Amino acid sequence: MSALPLHLLSDNARVEADGSLSVGGCRVDEIAAEFGTPVFLYDEAHLRARCQEAVAAFGHQKVVYATKAFLCKAMAKLAYDEGLLLDVASGGELAVALAAGVPANACTLHGNNKSVTELREAITAGVRHVIVDSFDELDRLDALWAHGLRHANGGAPKVVLRITPGVSAHTHEFIATGQDDSKFGFNLRNGDAIKAVDRARRSDSVDLVGVHCHIGSNVFEASSFAKAAEVMADFAVPLDLPELVLGGGLGVAYVEGEEAPNIAQWGNVLLDACDALGVRSKVSVEPGRAIVASAAMTVYTVGTVKRIPGVRTFVSVDGGMSDNPRPVLYGSGYESFLPRAASAPRDLTARLVGKHCESGDVLSFEAKLPADIAVGDLLATPVTGAYGHSMGSNYNKITRPPVVFAADGNARLVVRRETYDDLLRTDLG
């Protein structure tokens, strides 16, 4: 069996002389001892490098970090400090960004069903623009305007219309968003998109500044992005609006054998296509996963190794679907390894499971692990920087893990582990 493909680790992960792993100059076993397990361990310099690559590819303030992938105050501040705007998808995400010191005019508000309260809060705060998703949302904006709501700058809020381009990305159906059968956006094929443009242009309650599309998440094929750019350019060029937002969705490799374009390659595909198609608008993008996924690993402790002869071996860890629901939701694959022996051969095939009261609580259906794995070992899954912390839950009243940033030999706690008191804080009895 093969050892862990080391290219799946973050930029500043190192296998030390004794075979153990360090991240950002910090030993993984020492971080686990200090902060406990499970723990989300991020390579901070890796995060900064991906932000810098995106700015180099697209330009300053043309990259809008999709905070749904991973958000805490430290991440919001990091992204903004590195020259990114922030795309928030709820009032809660906006609140975190603002609490981190990110100005509202560096934030854009997404969502297919924004509440009146969310719209009011965002407009009052002064968000850069609202990505409008439906005619019902235009109705809400009309009503808010009629009741005297004005943007922080005193005028109508700037809006971008989300268009459904009819482009099917090669990804899981639950995270495909650009096809005609989608809950998101104004459908291009049936004429809703141009109707929305006409209405927004006539309206006093909004200031239309651009159009937007997003075809899905974890997309590996650059041709899908090029096709979306072509469709959107055909629609956008005659409108001659200031902005064209081509969304995010760039995939990352999670397991051995997967390959995805890097941020620079993605930028070349999109910008070359836009240049060839005569796009004069400012082109911006919304990467999330591509910025954060490979920056982190989740470190667990093995609690049970259950060998059932002739059936399989189960390896149980002290987390599971509450800190990584993607395998349950999408059948997503992950590699796994032991930080004490990061380059060791993985001769054992086992089912890696969590501690929740669900047979479906599986982190890896066929995990490759060293044969000498034992109770008490640390076990890590790489490429968990996106949609782990952000999609986590308290199922079985499990407390959510902490988040640690490691850089230059220092490990800092940026999100503490939840406590039982946190679980009870909103429970009024």
Which residues are CB-neighbours of 224 under 8 A, at least 6 positions away?
167, 169, 170, 215, 216
Residue 270's SS3 state is helix
* Encoded tokens for 347: 């001769």
Superfamily in which the 44-291 domain is placed by CATH: Alanine racemase (3.20.20.10)
Q: What's the rounded Cα separation, in Å, for the pair 367 and 251?
A: 22
Residue with the two structure tokens 């590819």 = 57
Q: Are 191 and 163 in contact (CB under 8 A)?
A: no
* Mode of pairing for the β-strands spanning 186-187 and 158-164: parallel
Cα–chain center distance at 381? 17
Confidence (pLDDT) at 1: 62
* Alpha-carbon distances, residue 163 vs 131, 156, 238, 246 (angstroms): 10, 21, 15, 10
Catalytic residue among 72, 107, 274, 357: 357
What pLDDT score does 316 carry?
98
Both tokens of residue 369? 């692990």
Beta strands in 28-118 (DSSP E): 39-43, 64-66, 85-88, 107-109
Angstrom distance (rounded) from CA 349 to CA 345:
12
**pTM, two decimal places:** 0.94
Q: In 3D, which of 170, 130, 123 has the Cα closest to residue 149? A: 123
Using only C-alpha atoms, the chain has a radius of gyration, in whole angstroms, of 23
User: So what's the pLDDT on residue 17?
Assistant: 96
Q: Where are the domains of the chain?
A: 6-43+294-421, 44-291
Give the pLDDT score at 287: 96
pLDDT in tens, the chain (429 residues): 689 999 999 999 999 999 999 999 999 999 999 999 999 999 999 999 999 999 999 998 899 999 999 999 999 999 999 999 999 999 999 999 999 999 999 999 999 999 999 999 999 999 999 999 999 999 999 999 999 999 999 999 999 999 998 876 544 343 344 456 778 899 998 999 999 999 999 999 999 999 999 877 778 887 788 888 888 999 999 999 999 999 998 999 999 989 888 999 999 989 999 999 999 999 999 999 999 999 999 999 999 999 999 999 999 999 999 999 999 988 899 999 999 999 999 999 999 999 999 999 999 999 999 999 999 999 999 999 999 999 999 999 999 999 999 999 999 999 999 999 999 999 999
pLDDT number for residue 166: 80
Q: In the CATH scheme, what is the code of domain 6-43+294-421?
A: 2.40.37.10
Residue 181 phi, psi dihedral angles, 5° rounding? -85, 80
121 membership: H or E segment, kind and range: helix 116-125
* The residue to which tokens 């054992």 are assigned: 348
**DSSP H helices in 176-277:** 192-202, 222-236, 263-276
Whole-number pLDDT of residue 183: 87
107 is catalytic: no
28-to-389, 418, 421 alpha-carbon distances in Å: 19, 21, 28
Residue 131 sits at φ, ψ, to 5 deg, of -90, 105
Q: 6-43+294-421 and 44-291: same fold?
A: no
Residues comprising the chain, all counted = 429
